[in-house]
Amino acid sequence: MAMVSWRWGTVLSGLLSIVPFVTAQTAPSTSNPSPRPLTPPTQPSQQGSGLEEAHRLLQQGKYDDAVALLTSMQSQHPGMKGLSHELGAAYYKKSDYSNAITNLKKAQEEAPDDNEAVQLLGLSYYLAGRPAEAIPALEKVQTWYPSANVDAAYILGVCYIQTKDYPAARGAFAKMFGVPADSAASYVVTARMLLRQDFAPIAEEYAKKAVEIDPRLPLAHSLLGEIYLYKSRLQEAIEEFQKELELNPADATVYYKLADAYSRVQRFEEAERLLQRSIWLDATSTGPYILLGKVLEKKGETALAVRALQRALAMDPNNPIPHHLLGQAYRELGQAEDADRELKLSEQLQNRQNAKP
């Protein structure tokens, strides 16, 4: 069977997470009514049409109906070739990973060369929160496609992190990004992944190792600065961001992060100057405008803070943070009606975000 591919969606939960899915999966249909109950096929030709119907239901996002049809077929035809695979794939698309694992393991026992079942089994273990069991299957995927299967390399690397096998994680990410496993680049990439997975102590160790191997590696000092900022080790963060700017004076993001560190130690003049540079280099990001609004308000330049925050909202009107800060600024300016409007809107947007799964 042909290998499936995945694409990714990003979910913010302190740090970002990624959930892969099978390419054939489509958005659930909300306009079409549920199909009438289907009579399970009893003849070989009917079995084939039953599988075709199950595939059609899956493509329409009607996962429960597809699973019910396949389960009925399995009960009437327990020896039907490939049915465990089909049912395991259906459960996978339904995000029922426990049942997917049960059926995909059976599919692998029935057909040891079923590579797709191995791949989906590894993914199902990973998504079920069982990374140690996911690793053997995902390692097999890597041997089949050692250079092309980037998504599998990422998931495998995350599984290694979650099981605290950090050298193996570095090897997986090095393969993913096409760099030598013992290079400074592999350490800095792995440090970034570790930080995303909230393994800050090991991320710091790996970022330091990257700098030790190559002190002039782009973004290595910046990553260390982020880690120190995350840990509120502000002076160390400032030093690392300054080192990064010596190597790369045209990076708007580093100016912004250094300004953030300066604002936290109440060095507002330096923070404002750095934010202006960040905006000159990249006027498309809302972060510097929001932070500039905070800094200007701290400096007592509330009218200018309002302008910066309005600019941020023009770029991202559904962000609750600048609405809240703008409400505070309006209150300081004595514009009570405007303040109430912005604070209320900020609360509504925040509640809407919190309500999302």
User: In this predicted structure, what is the pLDDT of residue 255?
Assistant: 98
**pLDDT, averaged across the chain:** 85
| Cα distances (angstroms) measured from residue 329 to each of 302, 308, 309, 344 | 6, 11, 9, 14
135 or 47: whose pLDDT is higher?
Answer: 135
Q: What is the pTM of this model?
A: 0.77
The sign of the dihedral angle between the CA atoms of 161, 167, 169, 173 is: positive
Q: pLDDT band at 48, cuts 50/70/90?
A: low
Tokens of 342: 């912005």
User: In this predicted structure, what is the pLDDT of residue 290?
Assistant: 98
Among 72-76, 236-240, 281-285, whose mean pLDDT is lowest? 72-76
Taking only the tens place, the pLDDT of each residue in 29-45 is 333 333 333 334 444 44
User: In this predicted structure, what is the pLDDT of residue 19?
Assistant: 36
Give the contacts of 158 (CB within 8 A, at least 6 positions apart): 126, 131, 169, 193, 197
Taking only the tens place, the pLDDT of each residue in 52-87 is 888 888 888 888 988 888 888 888 777 788 889 999
User: In this predicted structure, what is the pLDDT of residue 47?
Assistant: 55
- pLDDT > 90 in the chain, percent: 68
User: In this predicted structure, what is the pLDDT of residue 17?
Assistant: 36
Task: List the domains of the chain with CATH numbers.
Answer: 45-128 (1.25.40.10), 130-199 (1.25.40), 218-283 (1.25.40.10), 289-357 (1.25.40.10)
Largest CA distance in the chain: 81
pLDDT at 15 over 50: no
User: In this predicted structure, what is the pLDDT of residue 231?
Assistant: 94
pLDDT at 184 over 70: yes
- How many residues belong to the chain? 357
CA distance 51 to 207: 51
pLDDT average, residue stretch 74-102: 88
pLDDT at 13 over 50: no
pLDDT at 132 over 50: yes
Q: Which of 330, 326, 332, 324 is nearest to 311 (CA)?
A: 326
| Cα distances (angstroms) measured from residue 292 to each of 256, 279, 340 | 10, 10, 22
User: In this predicted structure, what is the pLDDT of residue 292?
Assistant: 98
CA distance 188 to 193: 9
pLDDT average, residue stretch 224-252: 97
3-state secondary structure of 55: helix
User: In this predicted structure, what is the pLDDT of residue 78?
Assistant: 75
> Is there a contact between 41 and 172 (Cβ–Cβ < 8 Å)?
no
pLDDT average, residue stretch 311-324: 97
CA distance 156 to 18: 13
pLDDT at 224 over 90: yes
User: In this predicted structure, what is the pLDDT of residue 35?
Assistant: 36
pLDDT average, residue stretch 8-17: 32
Identity of the amino acid at 292: L
Among 29-38, 179-188, 251-260, 264-273, whose mean pLDDT is lowest? 29-38
pLDDT average, residue stretch 345-352: 96
Tokens of 310: 């309005």
How many C-beta neighbours within 10 Å does residue 178 have?
Answer: 9
| Cα distances (angstroms) measured from residue 285 to each of 242, 252, 327 | 21, 9, 21
User: In this predicted structure, what is the pLDDT of residue 297?
Assistant: 96
pLDDT at 175 over 80: yes
How many C-beta neighbours within 10 Å does residue 148 have?
Answer: 11
Tokens of 4: 């499936």
Torsion of CA 237, 240, 246, 249, to 10 degrees: -50
* Burial class for 33, CB neighbours closer than 10 Å (0-12, 13-18, 19+): exposed
Among 11-25, 146-160, 225-239, 323-337, whose mean pLDDT is lowest? 11-25
| Cα distances (angstroms) measured from residue 43 to each of 50, 80, 85, 198, 235 | 10, 11, 20, 54, 75
pLDDT average, residue stretch 147-164: 83
User: In this predicted structure, what is the pLDDT of residue 150?
Assistant: 63
Tokens of 285: 């990001």
Q: pLDDT band at 147, cuts 50/70/90?
A: low
How many C-beta neighbours within 10 Å does residue 146 have?
Answer: 10
